[in-house]
Amino acid sequence: MSLLRSSLLVGVGAVASRILGFVRDILFAQVLGAGPVADAFLAAFRLPNLVRRVVAEGGLNPALVPSLTRLEPDEAATMAGNVTLVFGCLLLGIVAVVEVGAGAIGLLVAPGLASQDGVPELVALYTRLAFPAVFGVTLASIGAAFLNVRRRYLAATFAPLVVNGGLILALVAISQGLALAPERQAAWLSVASSVAGLLQLGLIAAALASGEDKPVRFRRPVWSPALKSLLLAGLPALVASGAVQLFVLAGTQVASFWPSGVSWLYYAERVMQLPLGLMAALAASVLLPELASRHRDGGTDAVVVAQNRALALALFLALPAAAALVILAEPISTVLFQRGAFDPQDARGTALVLMGLSAGLPFATAGKVLSQTLFARGSLRGTLLAAVAGIVVTIGGAALLGVLFGMGGIALGISLGCLAHAGAMVFLLRRAGLWRLDREIMGKIAGIGLATIAMGLFLAGLRYLMPEPRIPGLAVLCLGGLAFYAAAAWLFGAVTGRDLALLTKKP
């Protein structure tokens, strides 16, 4: 399958997941608003949703794909079975610990909620009900990695849709058919999250069992150096792959001390995740296996070429997306979320946070792509340290800028964490001799920058003509900006026919 077809398949799945996620979050805002109950639910939902997003975007792939790629198919299938059984036991233990300590763990995510009457108890309840989803989505992600190794992307790409789809059905049923208090509504949504995670696992299991090419073979686990190395790499891989989500989690801890801060940050981050999640899914599912294969073959120059091509694609998507989100932050927040319990003040607060987060989108996307080269080399320690550095910068920046500028400053602190993380990736790649920006890639970046500026001016003009757009107006702004950027990108040389030919070439 060509890189273009693989990328399109994964991209369609990622976009579909984000669209369903938008529908889910619109219903969240309509049903729960942005008050204490919403803060409690979203604080409890943050941890399992973080795990779901990290593993859905291939968070375990950096530990699994390079190791399994180096093995023969039969050996890889046996190793996959051992990994599945061992990880299953570990996950059961983790879920049990969280069920016991749900109160403390939930408030660790949002410590500012501890002072609100009755909210800590809600956080503990919702955490206990929602966290079992982690068992299902993590094992499903492990199974999806096995499918990706065999270049079987269909089930791995579309199985995660069941989580958002299940929550949407639950939200519709709760809001339309059941007259429940907000506290009870949030409780049922937490249960629905766990059920949907187990359904996702069932779909992946069915895909693994189908077909002649069985990626997993279950035997009694045999403890080997290879299995030990792979398991020890799992946690660092999750931390390193979920760097941006961890920066947002650190920002959530600071935001919990602001009224409705947890909710505003959640909704704004969900919008920002559309372009970032698309690039993350492409990087983990398509780029990482290609880089791992090239690294195995010893082609350093080929690795650098693939990395630069992916970086150009990342910036091609991220730079215009960041500019558009800054310009359209207010109408996006108003049109998507301002209804039901979500009032105009909440929409303005969410827009302010979205603008701050959008500033870090290009750095977050670049860091996600550049880390794949280090993952392919098995260099998890460096990527883990880079993620930790980004977390430290996020906490310090969010705390300081939050005092100075409120919730918008907290969002800027998260963007600073993304910048620090991307800078650390460049430093590590330079040390490994894998950072070379030739004249071609620099020319493309310049073309992307010029096209983005042109699109920004075009959108600002349209925004002046439509000061308060509704759904049709927002669609015109988004589609018009996209069409203008595509034309400007071609004009300024950000994308050429040769680029399309390279993408359609089979690896």
| Residue range 84-97, pLDDT digits in tens | 888 888 889 989 99
Least confident of 20-24, 46-50, 74-78, 138-142: 74-78
| Contact between residue 272 and residue 357 where contact means Cβ atoms under 8 Å apart | yes
C-alpha separations of 429 from 220, 365, 483 in Å = 40, 16, 35
Convert the pLDDT of each residue in 293-334 to its tens digit: 565 555 677 778 778 877 888 888 899 999 999 999 999 999
Q: What single-letter DSSP state applies at residue 218? A: -
| Contact between residue 238 and residue 134 where contact means Cβ atoms under 8 Å apart | no
| pTM beyond 0.85, yes or no | no
Residues 335, 336, 342, 348: is their CA dihedral positive or negative?
negative
What tokens does 413 get?
A: 């602190």
Amino acid at 67: S
Q: Rounded mean pLDDT of 416-427? A: 95
Greater confidence (307 vs 240) lies with 307
Contacts of 75 (CB under 8 A, 6+ apart): none
- Provide the CB-side half-sphere exposure for 171 (13 A, CA): 20
Is residue 360 pLDDT above 90, yes or no? yes
Q: Rounded mean pLDDT of 240-252? A: 86
Q: What single-letter DSSP state applies at residue 115? A: G
Convert the pLDDT of each residue in 448-504 to its tens digit: 999 999 999 999 999 999 988 988 999 999 999 999 999 999 999 887 766 655 555
Q: How many CB atoms lie within 10 A of CB 122?
A: 23
Query: How far apart are the C-alpha atoms of 260 and 253, rounded to whole Å?
Result: 12
Return the pLDDT at 178.
64
Residue 149 Cα to chain centre, angstroms: 21
Amino acid at 364: A
Return the pLDDT at 449.
95
| 163 CB burial (10 A radius; 0-12, 13-18, 19+) | buried
Mean pLDDT of the chain: 82
Least confident of 230-244, 272-286, 370-384, 401-415: 272-286
Return the pLDDT at 507.
47
Convert the pLDDT of each residue in 119-170 to its tens digit: 899 999 999 999 998 898 888 878 877 776 666 666 666 777 877 888 888 8
Return the pLDDT at 150.
65
Return the pLDDT at 404.
95
Return the pLDDT at 16.
76
What tokens does 165 get?
A: 């789809």
Return the pLDDT at 364.
92
Return the pLDDT at 117.
85
Return the pLDDT at 264.
94
Query: How far apart are the C-alpha atoms of 420 and 397, rounded to whole Å?
Result: 11
Among 9-23, 131-145, 228-242, 478-492, the range with the most confident prediction by mean pLDDT is 478-492
Report residue 2's pLDDT band, with 50, 70 and 90 as the boundaries.
very low
Task: Please report how the helices 3-32 and 497-504 are oriented relative to each other, as an axis angle in degrees rounded to 10.
Answer: 100
Convert the pLDDT of each residue in 197-214 to its tens digit: 888 888 888 888 876 667
